Amino acid sequence: NAGVTQTPKFQVLKTGQSMTLQCAQDMNHEYMSWYRQDPGMGLRLIHYSVGAGITDQGEVPNGYNVSRSTTEDFPLRLLSAAPSQTSVYFCASSPRTSGGSNEQFFGPGTRLTVL
């Protein structure tokens, strides 16, 4: 199993450009999430999905869109990049259980710089 994969590893954008960060998992996990990590801020939830066709906003959703057409893929779209979106982005997946949250498996991350 490849686990959780993310592309690209690094990206530099100019202000106003749009792009999509890709995330895929091969563990048949129902839950997938996007986090951003900034120095001293921990991991903050951007958007999450509890299954194909279902998405919801996290703590910091502004400026980002997501969709979940398949169980495996959960892309994150930046609509009009801003310098404040410079960050490291992590995708994570976890299995669904009746008891709530479970271990989240993280991808390797995408380091994004917006000039």
Residues lying near other proteins in the complex (CB under 8 A): 33, 35, 40-45, 48, 50, 58-59, 90, 99-104, 106-109
When the beta carbons of 44 and 77 are compared against other proteins, the nearer one is 44
Is residue 52 packed enough to be buried (19+ CB in 10 Å), middle (13-18) or exposed (0-12)? Answer: middle
When the beta carbons of 19 and 45 are compared against other proteins, the nearer one is 45
Give least dist CB 47 to other proteins, A. Answer: 10
The whole-angstrom separation of Cα 104 and Cα 16 is 32
Sheet of 19-25: strand order equals 4-7, 19-25, 76-78, 64-66
When the beta carbons of 70 and 102 are compared against other proteins, the nearer one is 102
Give least dist CB 4 to other proteins, A. Answer: 8
The whole-angstrom separation of Cα 33 and Cα 92 is 5
